[in-house]
Amino acid sequence: MPGRVCMVVHEYFPRDFRVRREARALVAAGYEIDIICLKQPGQASKELFEGMNVFRLPIMRHRGSALPVYMAEYMAFAGLAAGLVTAAHINRPYDVVHVHAPPDFLVTAGVLTRLLSARLILDIHDLTPELYGSRFKKTGGAAAQMIMQFIERGSCAAADKVITVTEAFKQLLVERGVSPEKVVVLHNCPDPEAFSSKPIKSKTGQEFVIIHHGTLVHRYGVDILLKAFEKVAAELPQARLQIYGEGDWLPRLESRVAQNGLAGRVSLFGEVAQGRVAQALADADLCVVPNRQDDFTDLLLPTKLLEALQMGCPTIASATRVIAETFPSGVCLVKPGDVDALAQAISRLAENNDERDNLAAAGKLQAKRFEWTTEKHKLLDLYRD
């Protein structure tokens, strides 16, 4: 057997798709995998999932809470995870402890095992200083940013290797003092089991269906999409908006839909299985990724954008920095936060079948640069090294 691995993630599992993809790839390559994660109500504290041993700690997410609540949650999980990882390592040593961040200081869960012989990987899904600035509106100012960058730098120094999700993330890490030789980019990609490269079935019906999927929070601009749809709905009686996902903004969206008499035009499905999202994308006429623009979202290459393109769904997206640089073609780009520009783009594409078809074909071609079959080999090469 190639080795024994412990993954630590401050998220629910198997809900976290990036962790699930990486763990599946390692199991298929012969690694023995333990996963330490959060516990949702109704989930087992311990279970065997697809050949992985899953250990859930009695801590839940408090999305949308105040900063002290977040910090208490993060610190409690880091402390419990460190104890569990260390005890398991003493009983049966790990070859690798693979910590997923944020928070960056979760790397402390594997520091003692590194001193005892294990290799330590820090897998940074989001850059904490920028995420903090976006979520908490830069509370604490420059001092808070300095502290978080100090923690980020120290966490990367404690690891043998650092994985992150885009070249833009890597560039910032290097600018902040991390050795470029230490950092490997492993892009987020559509799950090949759910998001086939071919449409699942042909679109049918007379309705014009617009879809948005993902976490429903302020920075991802779903309220901007709803405002734009309100303008479009008056002109296009056949237009329908489907929103898939959960987050702090879901109750607000439900309230606005009810208040504005859009209950028959806007459907809020909540969190559903990936396969159902893939089917919805295959059936939809248009997908919208309406991110707001800030220091954090400027660095993102959203997986939901890649999922829509891979399913052949024509897509409108905010022209944030990395999206605009990555997709000079294949995506209809609009100014972030501009409700009128988004409404105009939706209306134009709704009335032009040929433009939508051309956009879908170009987007599908562009999405081939981001496939899990390629990224998986990067992960396995890193482990072999």
172 and 48 in one domain?
A: yes
123 and 59 in one domain?
A: yes
The total of structural domains in the chain comes to 2
Instruction: Name the one residue in this structure whose structure tokens are 């919208």.
Output: 288
State how far the Cα of 108 lies from the Cα of 65, in Å rounded to an integer: 24
Length of the chain: 385
Residue 20: enclosing H or E segment and its boundaries?
helix 17-28
Is the distance from CB of 235 to CB of 347 less than 8 angstroms? Answer: yes
DSSP designation for 41: T
Instruction: Compute φ and ψ for 210, nearest 5 degrees.
Output: -110, 135
183 and 82 in one domain?
A: yes
Enclosing domain of residue 155: 4-189+371-384
172 located within any domain: yes
226 and 357 in one domain?
A: yes
182 and 77 in one domain?
A: yes
68 located within any domain: yes
CATH number at 107 reads 3.40.50.2000
201 located within any domain: no
231 and 135 in one domain?
A: no
Instruction: Compute φ and ψ for 189, nearest 5 degrees.
Output: -140, 160
220 and 158 in one domain?
A: no
| Local confidence pLDDT in tens for the 385 residues of the chain | 589 999 999 999 998 889 999 999 999 999 999 999 999 999 999 999 999 999 999 998 877 778 888 889 999 999 999 999 999 999 999 999 999 999 999 999 999 999 999 999 999 999 999 988 888 776 777 888 899 899 999 999 999 999 999 999 999 999 999 999 999 999 999 988 888 755 544 454 589 999 999 999 999 999 999 999 999 998 999 999 999 999 889 999 999 998 888 888 999 999 999 999 999 999 999 999 999 999 999 999 999 999 999 999 999 999 999 999 999 999 999 999 999 999 999 999 999 999 999 999 999 999 999 999 899 999 999 999 8
**How far out from the chain centre does Cα 133 lie?**
18
State how far the Cα of 100 lies from the Cα of 81, in Å rounded to an integer: 12
